[in-house]
Structure 1
């Protein structure tokens, strides 16, 4: 579990530098009133005061340098910690797989990785600043006691009141900071949903309603913001009242002591400056607010970092044709049985179609076969090796997946086909095999065409998704991956799949009887259970089977 302290410690070498400069700043702040007080006494006594003024100027210069270094170190510390935290968050999301991220909305995840990670990264500098802020009032109390114990007593009473105000502020602002960040994440989630379905929204003419839905949380965000500012204003007002009281109390006691001859005019001046330091504790509300936001950011990051990474073994796959075995596989999600005690032994090198009505468990079976999710009970083996025992690298080289709506990544069409650096010959071979080359070659820049600017239909995107999966050398899992292709192209790709010269196993989820007819075997699913495993021609005599295709 990632904690505030763990994030704060990531400042490494920057935190000592920030702390050192904070201590230098505190030392300058504490020394300056005494030096100026000595200057006042020298002026009153008519003696040489230039030495004290030089010391004061030196202290002021040192304080300015420390402030500049502190600003640079703080910014560098936050930047490095943010980068570290974002790397961990992205890694955890990616390694958690589809199931790991299922409990988070896309927009909310983006908010956690972007804005909230930056908030959390403030933990180290804010904590050091808060700790360093204790030095001036404590030092002021000690120095006032050295001047006169009654001055210290007056100062102490006021500072205690300021500290109580700050503690109350810290307690109230922590919860509201978390609520504010969570509401931001909800707004981002709604926006991400709308961007995904923007064509549907435009076609339905519901843009105004969608705008209201996305921005419907703004009043709640506004409420959290108003509460935050009210807490800040209340605490600031309380500190603003208590602060002058500290100054008045110290000056009143100091005036009495000056008249009594127990302190000098310079010491009274120094005492007034130390009283101002105590009153200035009220300005710590900003630092405490940063700590509250950092704690909220750390908490939201910790929820993502708690995602269980998909474990992988270290075994390689033995030589084989891609025999796929389901051994009493059951998948349960949210109390619903998606696959119910499925046992299959599919010979390697065959084309196997998976058919069934909507909700039958076809996509779940495909996901389990590709190890995009793990069974609740039972296991899946490829050429006799349980998928969970296979190393990540060996598994992803052996198994390729293509989906109904492929998410293409990369800068160019070529990178979308081959995300990792491979030879252009292999990229071209995959594109030709899946008939993606037909339309890519017509683009102005061919495979170097920007992915974002390339005009593509749903079928063309599917062909790129197929091309990306094509290099897998043991098993191809296609989850309705040809549904958007025109009949002629689908027939061409279907022929390529069924006559695969690489002799891989092809597991194809489909709703088309023609695709099922070309397969060697058909797995007929209904309500998560296997109804039959046989060639399409044999099953076609069954009325219930024909009803699957409408």
Structure 2
């Protein structure tokens, strides 16, 4: 597992977070939990009363009271108790299923809302596969806890009630049972300790396998192209032996407890029955009382039911700790301030520093983007371009320094005010919605149909969308998209919601040069005027921007027009590899010509 995963795992081991999570789920089903406890108490009460009533009825029958009405009354009471026990058990089962489903929905909703609130950086502490495991299987197991706890009091009432009834009927039979009770207690303690450790390890390995599987599925084309299916299969299933080991350990602990109980309980019952037989021979017990004593000894030694409850509760708490690890990641908080009504979209970075895994990704970045300007951010791979793009619209917060929009720190803005005015387009957009239109309209507000169509036209998506079977109403599942088409739809979605700041994080990388020029032209003339931050890998993209911020190893190496920066050999070298990869050597020469004809001032902060 990764460092981030282990960090999240350590945070999740605190029992306090699991307790709070399960308490919240319990409060969400409070009335139903009371009903489960009430049904369980009725069931326990009938189970405790039934042996005494059966014993008394048997004594009446043996005394020849069958010809009188007394025996019939007691037989009717026995039947009523049995029916009451059946009805209460049925109600408890129905309520338990309902509460468990409601608890799962509540826990999953709470965890998912928090996960979305922490932002991409916080969620990145867990791998996608591990997140899926925590939000599905672990949540399902954790959801069992509230109903299990509600049924725990009635479950404990059975052995305690059986013991009290033994004491009331005959002290000596109770003493015979209590002689073996300490062994029962030790058995339960050992079971709890061993099961908790085994279940925790089992669930951790489950998450590890899920993480590997999601990684393999995400890279399925690469695996197929490399012909490494068998190697990848072996990698995904490598933790399987440990999973089997932990699973067998869980069942071994459970089986050992049940086996020991299967030996101990009959011994206890035999001892109680032996003492009861002696008391019967001495005339101190009746036959009916002996029957009741035997039944109460079985209830008092009900280790099987208690072990089952304990096992369910232990699994639930272990799963709740893994789910609570998600809630331990601090959520991104928002302020209450609003942006100036007619602000131009001036973006400013003041001494911004970002540290990832102990490495400084951005270092004391000072940068001002005038309102309405287009800024291209360039730099070698790993220079910090995408991190700067994340900070621009507050998908993440800096570890030091401040990012401001129209003079207001982003962290002080109200959530809606920020999201309405900042739009993003990514290299690999994820499209939400049932249809193409819904995917383009997805955002903080729903633009009208003409706005959606205009945005698609600006992004170069309108022609291929209209060729789909039902145009914009085509279900996404019926619209197989190439990488470039998906990227154009992502751009169209961003254009439809463009506010005073639009961030394009390598959002034109899958477009051919002609389409890219059309999109950039439309961005400058057909999309709502505002500030643009473009992560650029092509020299042509940088050349079309008003300003270029040149990042090098997390620092601003220079800021200025592309043509001015192009005079520097180190700057030109940034695009050399990209030009070779795309076969656009002429692009660099064109930019070089522009640079030689440009008579602007020296770039800000540029190395000479």
Question: 2:43 matched to 1:28?
Answer: no
Question: 2:147 matched to 1:129?
Answer: no
Structure 1 partner of 2:458: 433
Displacement of 1:499: 3.2
DSSP-derived class of the 1:331 partner: strand
DSSP-derived class of the 2:477 partner: coil
- Select the residue among 377, 391, 408 that pairs with 2:414: 391
How many residues align structurally? Answer: 550
CA distance in 2, matches of 1:109, 1:265: 61
- Select the residue among 468, 484, 502 that pairs with 2:493: 468
| Aligned counterparts, 1:131-530, within 5 A | 131-318=153-340, 319-420=342-443, 421-470=446-495, 471-499=497-525, 502-530=528-556
Answer yes or no: is the 8 Å Cα contact 2:421–2:499 preserved in 1. yes
Structure 1 unaligned spans of 5+: none
CA distance in 1, matches of 2:79, 2:182: 32
Answer yes or no: is the 8 Å Cα contact 1:404–1:481 preserved in 2. yes
DSSP-derived class of the 1:422 partner: coil
Question: 2:120 matched to 1:101?
Answer: no
Q: Single out whichever of 397-406 and 3-12 deviates more from structure 2.
A: 3-12
Displacement of 1:160: 3.3
Note closer, same or farther for the CA distance 1:323–1:315 as it changes in structure 2 (3 Å cut).
same
DSSP-derived class of the 1:262 partner: coil
TM-score by length of 1: 0.97
DSSP-derived class of the 1:332 partner: strand
Answer yes or no: is the 8 Å Cα contact 2:347–2:403 preserved in 1. yes
TM-score by length of 2: 0.88
Displacement of 1:425: 1.9
DSSP-derived class of the 1:473 partner: coil
Displacement of 1:500: 5.0
Alpha-carbon RMSD: 1.4
Structure 1 partner of 2:4: none
Answer yes or no: is the 8 Å Cα contact 1:8–1:121 preserved in 2. no
> What CA deviation, in whole Å up to 9, does each residue of 1:262-284 have, x standing for no partner?
11111011111111212322332
CA distance in 2, matches of 1:39, 1:192: 64
Structure 1 partner of 2:10: none
CA distance in 1, matches of 2:269, 2:102: 41
Answer yes or no: is the 8 Å Cα contact 2:458–2:523 preserved in 1. no
Question: 2:90 matched to 1:71?
Answer: no
Answer yes or no: is the 8 Å Cα contact 2:161–2:300 preserved in 1. no
Answer yes or no: is the 8 Å Cα contact 2:548–2:560 preserved in 1. yes
CA distance in 1, matches of 2:376, 2:322: 43
DSSP-derived class of the 2:490 partner: helix
Displacement of 1:512: 0.6
CA distance in 2, matches of 1:463, 1:532: 31
Displacement of 1:131: 2.5
> What CA deviation, in whole Å up to 9, does each residue of 1:224-274 have, x standing for no partner?
110011111111111011100111111111111111111111101111111
DSSP-derived class of the 1:456 partner: coil
Structure 2 partner of 1:84: 106
CA distance in 1, matches of 2:527, 2:195: 65
DSSP-derived class of the 2:533 partner: strand
Displacement of 1:9: 4.2
Displacement of 1:111: 1.1
> What CA deviation, in whole Å up to 9, does each residue of 1:288-307 have, x standing for no partner?
11001110111011110112
Q: Single out whichever of 421-430 and 101-110 deviates more from structure 2.
A: 421-430
Question: 2:37 matched to 1:19?
Answer: yes
Structure 2 partner of 1:546: 572
Answer yes or no: is the 8 Å Cα contact 2:458–2:527 preserved in 1. no
> What CA deviation, in whole Å up to 9, does each residue of 1:279-333 have, x standing for no partner?
3223322211100111011101111011211111111111222111111111111
Structure 2 unaligned spans of 5+: 1-15, 577-608
Displacement of 1:468: 1.4
Displacement of 1:197: 1.2
